[in-house]
């Protein structure tokens, strides 16, 4: 899996994308409201790890997500 942080503009907040090995979108959510999106894709138990990595990411940079 891969994680990507996207910078928001003005009224649009920052978002996180999680993509699988074939770069298909698995989850797309606001950093401030991640619980629902991660629950839908069965990653809620990894929420703390994902958010810690996401907060340290640079905008627009994709990183391998080892869960």
The predicted-structure confidence for 16-60, as pLDDT tens digits, reads as follows 999 999 999 999 998 888 888 888 888 889 888 988 998 899 998
Domain limits for position 33 = 2-64
The pTM assigned to this predicted structure is 0.83
Cβ distance 62 to 5 under 8 Å? no
Query: Could you please report the per-residue DSSP string of 1-67?
Result: -EEEEE---TTSPPEEEEE-TT--EEEEEEGGG-HHHHHHTT-GGGHHHHHHHHHHSPTT-EEE---
Q: How many domains does the chain have?
A: 1
């Amino acid at each position: 899996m891969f994680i990507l942080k996207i910078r928001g503009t003005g009224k649009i907040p920052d978002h996180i994308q999680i993509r699988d090995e074939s770069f298909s979108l698995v989850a797309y959510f606001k950093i401030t409201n991640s619980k629902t999106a991660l629950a839908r894709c069965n990653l809620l138990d990894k929420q703390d790890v994902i958010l810690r990595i996401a907060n340290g990411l640079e905008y627009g940079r994709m990183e391998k997500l080892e869960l």
